[in-house]
Structure 1
Amino acid sequence: MDREIGDIYDQISGQISPQEFEARVEEKVSLMGELCDRRTAAMLVAREFGEVELKVASIRPETGKVTFLGKVISISAVHEFPRGDGSLGRVANLAVGDETGTVRIVLWDELVEPVTKGEIAVGHTFRVRGFTREGYFGTEVTLDRGGLEEVEAEIETRVDAYKISEIRADMGEITVLGKVVDPGEVREFSRRDGTVGLVRSVTLGDDTGKIRLTLWNEKAEMEIEEGETLEVVNAISRERYGQVEIQAGGYSALRKSDELIEFQEKITAISEMEAGSIYSISGFVSGLGEVREFGRDDGTIGRVANIYISDDMGRVKVSLWDDHVRLIERIDLGSRIELFDCMAKVGWNGELEVTCGWRTKVTFAPPE
């Protein structure tokens, strides 16, 4: 049984065999089609046997109704806000975790009262019952009345940094140590209120993989150099364009570390690529196309050019867009070339091809 549903089965393992459980999961998926993935189906099957207590790492925005045990790691200040009807609302957040991870719990209005009275404190353990949603800081659990039941339980919360391969979408309170693979560039963007903000995309790596880190405003202006080690504390994760990324927001801390982190770029053979995934490839230029211009909906002019890259295992067509098109002026047949973070897809003729987006890094060297 795979890890995706194994943790759910563990909660009812004394009531049903693993073979029967998997059969019921597949039946649910078959009956509900695209409305239900394997994980959701497993939750539905488990609930037929009563209340299921999950591990925090298993909780996702789409999980719905959840029950789990957790220890309070941090408590936010109580925030008051005006409602449309003129009344005053209140909200507070708890970070609650176990040995697998951390999740944010949102308390509204009268549910905030135990926080103001000191009845909820860091280190207290609770059985939590609520409903999940995707919040600004990742997965959130919203409680109903009676959703926090204090219990006597020994819970060891995770305090060490995550390996990059362990980070999945919609996690909160993430700490990660990574080597700066690409420091990125600071870019400006316009907010809805007309002000200008700053954003920066940094690539971090460790011995398990690499991940994109998004920095905002003053964090984006931090001096960061390739090869340095960064420690990111209290970050959140999101899935974007099919890839998991982390973001350092207002609650996050970012600092340099002296710890040495090993990272080695994984280069995929052209013949091993599959459509829908992001890869890094290396080879030599075996074909050059012409630059074409096209009009966008906003009236601006874009540019695109196609080249072909070959390695020992195959050959693939590569689309270069806008800023990357300038490379055509400097490369020639036989040039060594590396593409980092390019997307493989199926072209109009049904063959696999590669496209270079804004996050793709291209390096090349003249023919030997």
Structure 2
Amino acid sequence: MNIDKLKQKILSKINQEELEKKVKEKIEENSGLLGEESAVMLVAQELGIEITYEDDEEEYDFTIKDIADGQKNVEVTGKIIEISPEKEFNRKDGSTGKIASITIGDNTGITRLTLWNDKTDLIEGLKKGDVVKIENAFSRKWNDKVELNSGSELSIDKLKKYDESRYPILKESYKISELMPNFSGTINAEVVAAYPKKEFNRKDGTKGQLKSLILKDDSGGIRGTLWNELADFEVKKGDIAEVSGYVKQGYSGLEISVDNIGIVEESVKEEKPVEKMNISELTSFDGEYVTISGNITNISGSREVQFSDRNAEVQDMYLNDGTGMVKIAFWGPNRNILNDLKEGDYLNVSNCKLRTYTDNTGEKRADLTYNYMSELKKDESASEKIVEKITAIGDILSGSADSSDVTVIGMVTNAYPVNEFSRSNGGTGKVRNIMLDDSTGSIRMALWDGDAETEISEGDVVKLIHGYAKESGEYMDLSTGRFGRIEVNPEGISIKSPRNYIADLEEGISTEISGTVVDYRKQDVILSLCPNCRKRVSLVDNKYTCEVCGEVTPNELLVSNLTLDDGTGVINCRIYGNNVEKITELSKDKLKEMNLDALSNVLGKDVLFYGTPSFRNDDLEFAVKRVNFADASKELEVLKQL
């Protein structure tokens, strides 16, 4: 191809400055792995300019990313990235075989072709950087990667004419950001962490060893592993090293399995021992490997995560050291470590990879990943064990509790239906609200998605473990958040509603009362409120008007005031929302139709009300949170104990 002629075609549509700018952008988009000629060709394609070649193209449209497990007669072109020379091996029958391989790549991926016996002769005369056409190969999966193998009709031909833009540029040395999975290359980088040599057991019962390094240059970082004899190589933090090896995708990013290492410049820094950090400090150390200690507060179930090229299993553990809480992810086989652990265990965890991010509230968070160079030790004698602290709802409402981490136990006084909603990504979510009361106060709790489906009824005891409280308008709400979880009717915990006579009620102390409905206030059961300021609205000329906000469409609230008599006294009881439907045994629509007639049907009923007494206009009134009907036989037993 005559690249100068192609540039002239492009310049007929854009000027020289625009061409140079677009070429530069293409090279930068491909991390410097694209040459100028290839970039010019991409610009031409975008502008709809036909690219012609002096000879017919010999390349296949089939790319490496199109190769799938089990294909036959695979025909593909690629640039040779690595050649593994011919080696002999002994077969079980005593005969000798031969094996060789080449690794090829295009701009869609990289794969290896294994050559057996007489097919090893096909690599003769080939070298790294050649573009070859492979025909009649077959594919199979090996170690979770799809590779090519030599069939009986396999052929490999070196191409003289090809489109350079389709293939990666090969270099003597790469920046870390230029590395790709299934790629062999050399980098020059600083050793920012060097971990002690570790031994491991192989499947055949022999011992192996490894040493892990964290390498960084001005473009990024990568983990490197030195295996077996190479693990004896002396390297320390601060050294500048030349490292060659095979790059693969690990659970927490790219990794390089080191084949060769040399020290370019020795460090003059004195290496300090790794110090344990407080969890509250972690957000300042993005990308580092850290060591922490704390109690296990929760171990999640295993879940599957889908990546673009694979699926992986992960399980999370949450650790609390008194200064904060952090999630540690255990991927793949590392999940087995959690089998011998339980909530409450005190652990020392070292060399975990740290990642920071900003959550949907704008707060900076830290997560850790446990990998094969991390270590975990359980400390049975630790004096720093954290004792579970139960937070009173009253302390949350008054603002005297740390709302970012609360464990609350309360009785469900109201359990509302599950509501579905549409997410911004097109998915569907679920939410359910319940009201919890622990005698110091009452608070709403939002249950999302899976938690929303949990079977919870009024009167159940719910324990929220390591949740959080947040302001929602004029109210405080509880939520599980990213660390919390709920238990319904946990073993060994029970809350009995305290029972009192009306004559013995004290302001602000939640309790249960029993009595007979003897009267009701003559007011509409539907209260129309302004949706903006919550003031009562007036109906004028068939239009609802707020004295503050003007004409509005009101919110409708069910409300009724019933008088209860238990023989020791009478008290006005204020009832709202679905509790009005429960006491009248009528739907909202039916209540709107019947209005006061519905309340007349309640007279004479024996009921149980749970709520909180408070003074209103110098009279003690009872705000009802839960409604039940009295069972005469059970009531006699309860009254005997009062």
Q: TM-score range by the shorter chain?
A: 0.5 to 0.7
1:106 aligns with 2:216: yes
* 2:192 paired with 1:95: yes
CA contact (8 A) 1:185 1:201 kept: yes
- 1:122 aligns to 2:236 (yes or no): yes
Cα pair 1:345 1:354 within 8 Å, conserved = yes
For 1:355, the aligned partner's letter is: S
CA distances 1:279-319 after superposition (whole Å, capped 9, x unpaired): 22314233322222334466654322111223455432211
Aligned to 2:350: 233
> 1:156-175 to 2 correspondence within 5 Å?
157-171=272-286, 172-175=288-291
* Structure 1 match to 2:477: 353
Letter in 2 for 1:306: N
Q: Percent identity over the alignment?
A: 22
- 1:189 to 1:160, Cα distance in 2 relative to 1, 3 A: same
User: Are the counterparts in 2 of residues 207 and 263 from structure 1 also a CA contact under 8 Å?
Assistant: yes
For the aligned residue pairs, the C-alpha RMSD in angstroms reads 4.1
- Partners of 2:279 and 2:321 within 8 A in 1: yes
Q: CA deviation at 1:233?
A: 2.1
The aligned residue for residue 404 of structure 2 is 278
Distance 1:295 1:85, change over 3 A: same
1:257 is aligned to 2:378: yes
Consecutive aligned runs of 4 or more in structure 1 exceeding 6 Å deviation: 123-126, 274-277
The one-letter code of the counterpart of 1:324 is D
1:204 aligns with 2:319: yes
Q: Quote the Cα distance in structure 2 between the aligned partners of 1:107 and 1:293.
A: 48
The answer to whether structure 1 residue 176 and structure 2 residue 292 are counterparts is yes
Against the structure 1 CA distance between its residues 292 and 276, is the aligned structure 2 distance closer, same or farther, given a 3 Å change threshold?
A: farther
Letter of the aligned partner of 2:366 in structure 1? Answer: E
Instruction: Find out whether 1:304 has 2:431 as its counterpart.
Output: yes
1:254/1:163 CA distance change after superposition, 3 Å:
same
**339, 363, 369: which one aligns with 1:248:** 369
Query: What's the offset of the Cα at 1:202?
Result: 0.5
Match of 1:67 in 2: none
SS of corresponding position for 1:168: helix
CA distance in 1, matches of 2:467, 2:367: 19
Structure of higher RCO (CA pairs closer than 8 Å, 6+ residues apart) = 1
Greater C-alpha Rg: 2
Task: Return the alpha-carbon distance in structure 1 between the equivalents of residues 345 and 409 of structure 2.
Answer: 28
Cα displacement string for residues 33-63 of structure 1 (whole angstroms, at most 9, x for unaligned residues): xxxxxxxxxxxxxxxxxxxxxxxxxxxxxxx
* Whole-angstrom distance in 2 between the partners of 1:247 and 1:189: 17
Measured in 2, the distance between the counterparts of 1:359 and 1:210 equals 8
1:192 is matched with 308
1:180·1:202 contact (CA, 8 Å) conserved in 2? yes
Aligned partner of 1:255: which letter?
L
1:291 to 403, 418, 431: 418
Q: Tell me if the contact between 2:193 and 2:236 (Cα under 8 Å) persists in the aligned partners.
A: no
**TM-score normalised by structure 2 residue count:** 0.33
Going from structure 1 to structure 2, the CA distance change for 1:158 and 1:325 (only over 3 Å counts) comes to same
Summarize deviations over 1:168-205 as a string: whole Å, max 9, x none: 34352212233322122111111101x21011110123
**Cα distance change, pair 124–325 in 1 and its aligned pair in 2 (3 A):** closer
Tell me: CA distance 1:305–1:150, structure 2 relative to 1, closer, same or farther (3 Å): closer
- In 2 relative to 1, CA 95–124 (structure 1 residues): closer, same or farther, beyond 3 Å? closer
Distance 1:149 1:274, change over 3 A: farther
Residue from 220, 225, 231 that aligns with 2:335 = 220
Q: Closer, same or farther in 2 for the Cα pair 1:108/1:320, shift >3 Å?
A: closer
Aligned-partner residue type, residue 107 of structure 1 = D
| 3-state DSSP of counterpart to 1:344 | strand
Contact 1:295 1:302 (8 Å CA) reproduced: yes
What 5-or-longer segments of structure 1 have no aligned partner? 1-80, 98-102, 110-119, 127-135, 138-147
CA distance in 2, matches of 1:205, 1:91: 39
What is the CA–CA distance in structure 2 between the aligned matches of 1:167 and 1:300, rounded to whole Å?
A: 33
For 2:462, the equivalent position in structure 1 comes to 337
Rounded to whole Å, the distance in 1 between the matches of 2:456 and 2:475 is: 27
Query: Match for 1:264: what amino acid?
Result: V
> Matched residues in 2 for 1:307 and 1:301: separation?
20
What runs of 5+ residues in structure 2 fail to find an aligned partner?
Answer: 1-109, 111-128, 130-166, 175-186, 195-212, 220-233, 241-251, 254-264, 497-642
- CA 1:330–1:105: 2 relative to 1, 3 Å: same
| CA contact 2:190–2:239 (8 Å) conserved in 1 | no
Measure the CA separation in 2 of the matches of 1:121 and 1:188: 37
For residues 150 and 319 of structure 1, the distance between their equivalents in structure 2, rounded to whole angstroms, comes to 54
Using the TM superposition, name which of 236-245 and 270-279 deviates more: 270-279
Cα distance in 1 for partners of 2:322, 2:481 equals: 25
CA displacement, residues 9-49 of structure 1 (integer Å, 9 cap, x when unaligned): xxxxxxxxxxxxxxxxxxxxxxxxxxxxxxxxxxxxxxxxx
**Aligned equivalent of 1:86:** 170
1:298–1:159 CA distance, 2 compared to 1 (3 A): closer
Letter in 1 for 2:279: I
- Greater CA drift, 349-358 or 81-90: 81-90
The Cα shift of 1:209 comes to 4.3
TM-fit CA distance, 1:208: 4.3
Shift in alpha-carbon separation, 1:161–1:272, aligned structure 2, 3 A: farther
CA distance change for structure 1 residues 265 and 211 in 2, over 3 Å: closer, same or farther? farther
Deviations 1:250-274 (A, max 9, x none): 4532434344341223444322559
Residues 270 and 281 in structure 1, CA contact (< 8 A), matched pair in contact too: no
Structure 1 residue 367: deviation in Å? 3.9
Q: Name the SS of the counterpart of 1:278 in structure 2.
A: coil
When residues 224 and 326 of structure 1 are mapped into structure 2, their CA distance, relative to the original with a 3 A threshold, is farther
Taking a change above 3 Å as real, the CA distance of residues 345 and 123 of structure 1, as seen in their structure-2 partners, is closer
Task: Count how many residue pairs are aligned between Structure 1 and Structure 2.
Answer: 248
2:442 matched to 1:315?
yes
8 Å CA contact 2:192–2:216 kept in 1: the answer is no
Contact in 2 for aligned 1:292/1:304 (Cα 8 Å): yes
Partners of 1:197 and 1:332 in 2: how far apart?
40
Q: Deviation per CA, 1:326-363, whole angstroms, max 9, x where unpaired?
A: 33x33423x4332223343343x443323334642112
